[in-house]
Amino acid sequence: MAWKWYDSTVVRMEDAAPGVRRFWLQVPEQEPIEFKAGQFVTMDLPIHEKRLKRWRSYSIANSPTEKNLLEFCIVRLEGGAASDYFFDQLKVGDAVRFKGPDGNFVLPDDLSDRELVLVCTGTGVAPFRSMLLDIEQRNIPYKSIHLIFGTRYAAGILYREDFERMTRNMPHFRYSVALSREAGIRPEDFAFPVFQGYVHQIYMDAYPTPRPELDFYLCGWSNMIDDAVANLLVKRGCEKSRIHYELYG
């Protein structure tokens, strides 16, 4: 099945953290885009003459209930043609053409008996935010959800207010953050558990024994995914079918 192409307009841009920016694209009301939480679109950016070198895929960060508006959270990569375009050239009012949505990194329809552990680093949090907003807004039943987010410094904690709200409003939702380079962490400065180090120590300590109802969803750079899959398969003995992941680069 061929993807559908959409013509959209940039309606808002906002810095989310040092080197990270949020972008909102509006699609015409006569052709609203429908997507599943966790999916991505592929943008055709004016950064190269060859078509395949212009295409970049980004996960949608907002809830599927917003059918005409898509949000993306994009990090600036040193020497990256696409990120240079987003940060140095793109402005509100510009047109962006994309195709999709696509991707199988989505949650099952029935979560009532599932314990979900969502592990991510950096902008890999985007599809999880979409999933969690969808669960929150549609009151989807679930057994438990644990979001584990990793970044270098506290200033890089993305969507912090959203996840703090969810810890207050969503029963059986947990939120943990790993800061790999932040010195002198003061727990009283946070409304959620914060750890010095990496995401791996959090899920390894919290889930020492695999269970049939426990599913791990991983999103981030390939090194993190590789380490997490090895930890869960080899050290924890998890079934491969209970580990789902989306690679960023």
For range 95-122, the mean pLDDT:
97
pLDDT on residue 3:
77
For 63, other C-beta atoms within 10 Å of its C-beta total: 21
Does position 110 have pLDDT exceeding 70, yes or no? yes
pLDDT tens by residue, 181-218: 998 899 899 999 999 999 999 999 999 999 999 999 99
For range 52-71, the mean pLDDT:
94
Q: Which two tokens stand for residue 184?
A: 């002198």
Nearest alpha carbon to residue 179 among 156, 196, 157, 163: 196
Does position 1 have pLDDT exceeding 70, yes or no? no
Q: Which conformational region is residue 52 in: left (phi greater than 0), alpha (psi within -120 to 50 degrees), or beta?
A: alpha
Domains of the chain: 4-102 (2.40.30.10), 111-247 (3.40.50.80)
CA dist list (Å): 190 to 149, 180, 200: 14, 16, 20
Q: What is the DSSP string of 16-38?
A: EETTEEEEEEE--TTS-----TT
* Cβ atoms 132, 166 nearer than 8 A: yes
pLDDT on residue 249:
56
Residue type, 159: Y
The C-alpha atoms of residue 133 and residue 163 are separated, in whole angstroms, by 10
What does the mean pLDDT of the chain come to? 95
pLDDT on residue 247:
84
Helix residue spans in 139-198 (DSSP H): 160-169
For range 224-239, the mean pLDDT:
96
The C-alpha atoms of residue 65 and residue 68 are separated, in whole angstroms, by 9
For range 162-176, the mean pLDDT:
97
How far is CA 139 from its chain centroid? Answer: 20
Does position 165 have pLDDT exceeding 70, yes or no? yes
For range 124-132, the mean pLDDT:
98
Looking at per-residue confidence, does 247 or 152 come out higher? 152
Does position 138 have pLDDT exceeding 80, yes or no? yes
pLDDT tens by residue, 46-59: 999 998 899 999 99
pLDDT on residue 2:
64
Does position 228 have pLDDT exceeding 60, yes or no? yes
For range 232-245, the mean pLDDT:
96
For range 216-238, the mean pLDDT:
96
